[in-house]
Amino acid sequence: MENIDPLEALRWSVEMGADEAIGEQPVNRYAVSEPITASVPVSAKLSEPKVQSMERAPLAPSQGIADSLAAAAAASNLEELRNAIAAFEGCALKQTATNLVFADGNPEADVMILGEAPGAEEDRRGVPFVGASGQLMDRMLAAIGLDRTTAYISNILFWRPPGNRNPTTAEVAACMPFVQRHIALVRPRVLVFVGGASAKAMLDRKEGIMRLRGKWYEYGGQGLPEPIPALATFHPAYLLRSPGQKRAAWHDLLLLRSRLDELR
């Protein structure tokens, strides 16, 4: 058998999303510990369910949403909102994340950018968009004269999904009241939704980012006196994988720049 370079194998695992150690010892999941019998008696199948040894079992999704709605509504400023999110137990992602990732940049800025979810670096530092895609985001902003003093940046999820997997509908729904309250408290003049997950969730649309990007929408979420113009565009992580799309992203950035110029 061909020798496998352990470093290459590790690099491959990280690329596949297995970038966290979750136990002290490796587990051979191919080893069958007990013989599998086809005829398990019905009485055994229906026995008492085993109680999982979790410190805090996640709430049922609908309870999570009810809790986040109430907690979000009670927050009257950004600090209270951050504290309410930190105390929220209705999103299971919190249990595997290292840090809550709330926001970065200037909450007084004209533009608020919403990405999808923190990645590994964001999770480590508790700051959104500081990994490879964040660095590209900074360069994109700089190209139209913006930076983190003139933009405010957050995500539709406040905790990293394990292994950077896609967030589930239930996770997005549980966090949505906080995201809507976040927007209502910041009240930016322009919103930018980066990536399909953010654009679809915030605009309540089914189309993918290819169709949604490069156009202006009206975001009329909870708690706003009037809708806010919102632009959908590609996620920088996608642009890193598909640099051929940078031309389209540049078109979107120019749309944003001219909208901001009109506000002056």
Q: Would you tell me which residues interact with ligand URA (CB under 6 A)?
A: 115-119, 122, 128-129, 131, 133-134, 155, 195, 237
Q: Give the separation between CA 253 and CA 126, rounded to whole angstroms.
A: 26
Contact 189, 111 (CB under 8 A): yes
Least CB distance to ligand URA at residue 264 (A): 29
Nearer to ligand URA, 58 or 134 (CB): 134
Least CB distance to ligand URA at residue 134 (A): 6
Least CB distance to ligand URA at residue 227 (A): 24
77's CB contacts (< 8 A; 6+ apart) are 185
Nearer to ligand URA, 92 or 239 (CB): 239
Residue nearest to ligand URA (CB): 115
Least CB distance to ligand URA at residue 45 (A): 42
Contact 10, 19 (CB under 8 A): no
Nearer to ligand URA, 237 or 256 (CB): 237
Percent helix, strand, coil in the chain (nearest 5)?
Answer: 45, 10, 45
Least CB distance to ligand URA at residue 101 (A): 6
Least CB distance to ligand URA at residue 135 (A): 10
Q: Which residue has the tokens 């398990």?
A: 40
| Rounded (5°) CA angle 77-82-86 | 150
Please name which of 161, 142, 227, 159 lies closest in space to residue 190, comparing C-alpha atoms.
227
Q: Where are the alpha helices (DSSP H) in the chain?
A: 6-15, 42-45, 61-74, 78-87, 93-96, 120-125, 132-143, 169-186, 196-203, 209-212, 236-241, 246-262
